[in-house]
Amino acid sequence: MWMEREARGIMKANVTYWLDETVKRVPEKAAFVDEGKAVTFQELQRQAKALASQMIQRDLFKKPVVIYMEKGVDVLVSFMGAAYSCNFYSPIDVDMPASRVNKILEVLSPSLVITTKALKETFESYEYEGEYLLFDEACRGEICEEEIEAARKKGIDTDLLYVLFTSGSTGVPKGVTITHRSVIDYIDWVTETFAVTEEDSFGNQAPFYFDNSILDIYSTIKSGATTYIIPKNLFAQPVPLLEYIKEKKINTIFWVPSALIVVAKLKAFRNVDLSDTLKRVLFCGEVMPNKQLNVWRKFLPDVVYANLYGPTEITDACTYYIVDREFSDDEPLPIGIPMANTEILVLNEHDGLVKGEETGELCVRGTSLSMGYYNNPEKTREAFVQNPLNPFVPETIYRTGDLVKYNEYGEIIYLSRKDFQIKHMGHRIELGEIETAVSSLEEISLCCCLYDEKRQKIVLFIEEELEKAYINEQISRLVPEYMLPNKVITLEQMPMNANGKIDRVKLKELL
């Protein structure tokens, strides 16, 4: 009895125990598949343990390990290797500019870099003098089971699993730290809510340095599903993309809205029928306009659609809305209600809870919270603060900087980021509200609104050749006159950042 309880307790302390259980059930099933190769759960475990053994032999415990490889199966094996040895991983994009890589290295001071022979040469030009592990050799190495067990026993659930770097406003990237516990809680919620089983197949879009990928990776490892890593170039070709989904029998996708919008824009469903294939369409990371979601819903009415919301700092997502009613094209889609074991506090300017439909900042409380920014106490103190509603015991909340309000159903509606809230001619305006209005126009596919502080102008970026007068006339039924864009800029293509979201930093340079 005692042994059983102990085993259960340990099971919940490290994500690799999920992998051990899954290997027992479905050893030969494909876990992850990329363009070049596939890895079964058993192979994944074996290779990861070989990498872990190398890390343990180097006396690494609770140390940062950089993964520097092209996106693919091997990156995920390396993640698991770090986890088995109770170290924590930080993936660095191979396309990242050298100056940013160096800034990350300065913050992280990694103890080890896992890479390939070819990429090691590139990495050697960065400011790093430490050790390397070459993936191809190390994944075939010997496994020290006892040492791995000892390391996992020493580790606890609040130890770090990964550090993901997001852009910092000061130019110094911030390393968001996430523990095993946070991922375990989140994935328990995902797999229960969406009833994920080994019958399921995910179509991964998110880069592995972007936290949306956590859902695909760990739901797969826990439930014994399969994740297909979709080749990046397919996201620019909707028809081949949908053909890929059909061919691989992918039934679940979790993408950024921009990727779903491209498919809706070209109405690729007319060429490829996914009605017998797709079961769940989940999205997170930016606003999903109802206009494009309505195209998806029209062609695939039986799919479960869910809008997940959250920043990296709270382990991917903290609220969700499973689409359960009709929306007109110009209505906002709710971000919904808190996930299990999560409290959302919507705080007004006086740090009190908002009343009625008052706007406030979304703040989060719960085990999903990051431990803070790695090696950056100052930035950590700014965003992770004492719960102002609890003066009695230390209790941290994360201030997201996102403005929201409740609707009449008690669901949360995302309005905009605090920094996208402007004062224009004395009016307080959420730029997101203008974007929602413009997105609802028939002709518009993607749009983005910025404020030109210097010239005091609302600037709208679109991809279509449309006159400002026409747009303003159309949206004047949706927003007040003072919110009408003062300038419209047509771009051949909206710039996207590495995560696949609209790149507002690049657009700002065009003002």
List the one residue from 116, 191, 251, 312 that touches ligand AMP (CB under 6 A): 312
Query: Which range of residues in 30-38, 70-78, 267-275, 304-312 is near ligand AMP by CB under 6 A?
Result: 304-312
| β pairing state of 337-338 and 319-322 | antiparallel
Does 311 participate in binding ligand AMP (rule CB under 6 A)? Answer: yes
Q: Which stretch binds ligand AMP (CB under 6 A): 102-110, 260-268, 308-316, 380-388?
A: 308-316
The whole-angstrom separation of Cα 401 and Cα 185 is 24
Q: Considering only residues 209, 228, 414, 451, which one is a binding residue for ligand AMP as defined by CB under 6 A?
A: 414
Q: What distance in Å separates the CA atoms of residue 477 and residue 475, rounded to the nearest whole number?
A: 5
Among 166, 193, 237, 294, binds ligand AMP (CB under 6 A): 166
Residue owning tokens 């224009």: 424
Question: Which of 123, 194, 208, 309 touches ligand AMP by CB under 6 A?
Answer: 309
Give me the residues paired with residue 424 across strands.
Answer: 427
For residues 317-335, one letter each, b for 16 or more C-beta atoms within 10 angstroms of the residue's C-beta and e for the rest, the string is bbbbbebeeebebbbbbbb
User: In angstroms, what CA-CA distances link 494 with 447, 502, 503?
Assistant: 8, 7, 8
Helices (H), 356-407: 377-383
CB of 58 to ligand AMP, least distance (A): 32
Least distance to ligand AMP, CB of residue 505, Å: 13
Q: Is 111 in the site for ligand AMP (CB under 6 A)?
A: no
Distance in angstroms (rounded) separating the CA atoms of residues 41 and 301: 34
| 147 SS3 class | helix
The residue range among 18-26, 45-53, 101-109, 309-317 that interacts with ligand AMP, by the rule CB under 6 A, is 309-317
41, 188, 344, 384, 445 from 192: Cα distances, Å: 21, 6, 20, 29, 34
Which of 399, 409, 309, 412 lies closest to 359, judged by CA? Answer: 412
Using CB under 6 A as the binding rule, whether residue 418 contacts ligand AMP is answered as no
The residue range among 31-39, 50-58, 305-313, 460-468 that interacts with ligand AMP, by the rule CB under 6 A, is 305-313
Total Cβ atoms within 10 A of residue 195: 12
- From the list 201, 400, 445, 472, which residue makes contact with ligand AMP (rule: CB under 6 A)? 400
Contacts 24+ apart (CB under 8 A), 117-123: 119/68, 119/69, 119/70, 119/94, 122/94, 123/68
| E strand map for 24-104 | 30-33, 38-40, 64-68, 88-91
Residues in a beta bridge with 391 = none
Tell me: does residue 474 bind ligand AMP (CB under 6 A).
no
Shortest CB 439 distance to ligand AMP, Å: 12
List the interface residues with ligand AMP, window 188-217 (CB under 6 A): 211
406 with 412: CB under 8 angstroms? yes
Using CB under 6 A, which residues numbered 326 to 345 contact ligand AMP? 335
Binding of residue 286 to ligand AMP (CB under 6 A): yes
Closer CB to ligand AMP, residue 114 or residue 431? 431
For residue 442, the minimal CB distance to ligand AMP (Å) is: 23
> Which residue, 89 or 320, is less far from ligand AMP as judged by CB?
320
Q: Minimum CB separation from ligand AMP for residue 257, in Å? A: 8
Output 259 or 287, the one with its CB closest to ligand AMP.
287
Q: Is 284 in the site for ligand AMP (CB under 6 A)?
A: yes
Any contact of residue 315 with ligand AMP (CB under 6 A)? Answer: no
Q: Which amino acid is at 433?
A: E
Least distance CB 55 / ligand AMP (angstroms): 28
What is the token pair recorded at 111?
A: 């103890």
Query: Which residue, 60 or 259, is less far from ligand AMP as judged by CB?
Result: 259
**According to CB under 6 A, which one of 110, 173, 238, 285 is a site residue for ligand AMP?**
285
Diameter of the chain measured on Cα atoms? 74
Q: How far, in whole angstroms, is CA 425 from its chain's centroid? A: 36
Strand-pairing partners, residue 416, are 403
Neighbours of 470 (CB within 10 A): 12
Query: How many residues contact ligand AMP, by CB under 6 A?
Result: 18
Q: Minimum CB separation from ligand AMP for residue 12, in Å?
A: 26
Q: Which of 205, 307, 440, 445 binds ligand AMP (CB under 6 A)?
A: 307
What's the rounded Cα separation, in Å, for the pair 17 and 15? Answer: 5
Q: Does 402 bind ligand AMP (CB under 6 A)?
A: yes
CA 391 from chain center: how many Å?
32
* Residue 417 found at the interface with ligand AMP (CB under 6 A): yes
**Span of 25-33, 224-232, 262-270, 306-314 interacting with ligand AMP by CB under 6 A:** 306-314
Cβ of residue 224: shortest distance to ligand AMP, in angstroms? Answer: 27
Residues forming the site for ligand AMP (CB under 6 A):
166, 211, 284-287, 307-312, 335, 400, 402, 414, 417, 499
